[in-house]
Amino acid sequence: MKLICDTCAVVNAFKAAALSVVLTLRGYRFLLGPAVTGESIQLREEISRLLEAGLFLTSDEAKVSAVAVASISRAYNLGIGESECITICQADAKLTLWSDDRRARTVASNLLGTNRVVGTADLLRACVEQNLFSPLEAYSAYELARSRGAFLPPLTQISFQIERAACDDTVEL
């Protein structure tokens, strides 16, 4: 899955002390658009380090019309970063938006479909599925982000539990 990340999502994953883990999810690629790299002043060094490590990517896919970005921004009262990410997703049907901004998620769900919008909590659950975090570690990261000012939806620890298929270790002889 290829994800284009808005600033809010990157900041929230950083506040959760989970950004580096989330970026190692198998089968995921994380792209940053130009506006996000410019908006993330507080994380500039961290983003540079993650770009150098290849955990974040920038690409030609991230080039979109400034007019299209401004149009989304004006029409839906969104920031430039969120608007750029949605516009990039509109230009590439293989991209999914990673955002924690409620308005951006609503707009993106309407324009792209709900299956092409994820949030940090979804990615923390994916970390549990891939055994990068235990359910308790994922929930603790989520709570840490909230305690550090992240605007994330109210969830309980059970939200990070996943059902694992029962394993039958019985061997008939």
Q: Is the pLDDT of residue 21 over 80?
A: yes
Q: Which residues pair with 117 in a beta bridge?
A: 97
Q: What is the pLDDT of residue 173?
A: 46
pLDDT, tens only, 46-79: 888 998 999 998 866 557 888 999 999 999 999 9
Integer Cα distance of 148 and 151 in angstroms:
9
Residue 88 and residue 68: Cα distance in Å, rounded? Answer: 10
Phi and psi angles of residue 79, each rounded to the nearest 5 degrees, phi first = -70, 165
**Mean pLDDT in residue range 124-129:** 96
Type of residue found at 112? L
Task: For residue 68, give both structure tokens.
Answer: 């299209």
What is the pLDDT confidence band of residue 164, given thresholds at 50, 70 and 90? low
> Residue 67: CA atoms inside 13 Å, Cβ hemisphere, count?
0
What is the mean pLDDT of the segment spanning 137-142? 97
Residue 169 pLDDT class (50, 70, 90 cuts): very low
Q: How many CB atoms sit inside 10 A of residue 15's CB?
A: 19
Question: Would the pLDDT of 8 be above 50?
Answer: yes
For the chain, domains (ranges, CATH) are: 2-160 (3.40.50.1010)
Phi, psi of 170 (to 5 degrees): -75, 135
Q: What is the mean pLDDT of residues 93-119?
A: 97
How does DSSP assign 115-157, residue by residue? Answer: GGEE-HHHHHHHHHHTTSS-HHHHHHHHHHHHHTT-------G
**What average pLDDT score do residues 133-144 get?**
97
Q: Cα 28 vs. chain centroid, distance in angstroms?
A: 10
* Euclidean distance between CA atoms 171 and 163, whole angstroms: 24
pTM of the model: 0.89
Q: What is the per-residue burial (b if ≥16 Cβ within 10 Å, else e) of 64-84?
A: beeebbeebbeebebbbbbbb
**Which amino acid is present at 165?**
A
